[in-house]
Structures are given as structure tokens and as C-alpha cells.
Amino acid sequence: MKKVLYAVAIFATIGLTSGFSQNHENHTMDKSEQTAMTMATFGVRGNCGMCKKTIEKAAHSVEGVSKATWNKKTKKMMVSFDASKTTEMAIHKAIAASGYDTEKVKGSETTYNNLPGCCKYDHEMKMNQTSEVNKEHSSHNH
């Protein structure tokens, strides 16, 4: 009977140890995935909520992009992506293909011409502004 209990105790110890090791490996993989994430901020021209939806959808269409948020007031895009799967330039190109100018790539003119009227932005519009600039600028009308 003692031998059976001893054997059960050994198997239980081995089982717990291997389970701990397996969980530890998964935890390590999560950390390595997090370190592969890259953040980027850049300007994108646009006007309204429809622009926001299109710009963010274009960024999310790029494999490896996990988060994409465009601020219509500051004309600032913030993206989080896996640098082992894509590049910042690929995200710029995807947004430009949807008709919107970025800091690095001019938007597709054909696609721009097919945007709804409210989405036809000024091609000279400033982008990637700070919130302080907008606060200063909001005090007077243009």
C-alpha cells in the first residue's frame, strides 16, 4: 500500500511540474508577442466620422495591425502593429489606397474623387497636430 501511495505521489509531482512548465512556456510566448508590437503615430488628412471609419478600416486591413485609431481633430493616427508581420510604410500605403493622404504617401486620386462630399478634405490641411494647437486655434473662426 505504501508503494502505491508513493507511486501516486511521484506521478502527481511530475504532473504538477510539467503543467507548471507548460504554463510558464505559454506565459513566455505572450511576453515575446508583446515585445514584437510596435507603436507609430503619424498624420492622416480627413474630415468626419465617415473618414475615421474608412481610415481605421484601411489600417486594420493590413496583417499584423492590432489597433488603429484616428483622431479627426488632430488628424493624428495611432497604430499598434506586429513589426514581424508588417511595416509602418505598409500601413501608410493601405490608408493612401483608401483615398486619404498620410504624412508619407499621397492618397489615391481616383479613390479620393469617389469619396462622399463630406470626406473631400483640403489637400493642404495640417495633420498630426497636438491638442494644444487645436485649443489655440479653436478660439477664433475661419
pLDDT tens for the chain, residues 1 to 142: 656 555 555 555 555 555 544 444 444 445 544 557 999 999 999 999 999 999 999 999 999 999 999 999 999 999 999 999 999 999 999 999 999 999 999 999 999 999 999 999 999 999 988 764 444 444 444 4
| φ and ψ at residue 129, rounded to 5 degrees | -85, 160
Distance CA 50, CA 29 (A): 38
Q: Which of 95, 123, 99, 121 is nearest to 111 (CA)?
A: 99
Q: How far is CA 102 from the centre of its chain?
A: 15
Q: Collapse the DSSP code of 88 into the 3-class scheme (helix H, G, I; strand E, B; otherwise coil) and give the result.
A: helix
Query: What's the pTM?
Result: 0.69
Beta strands in the chain (DSSP E): 37-43, 65-71, 76-82
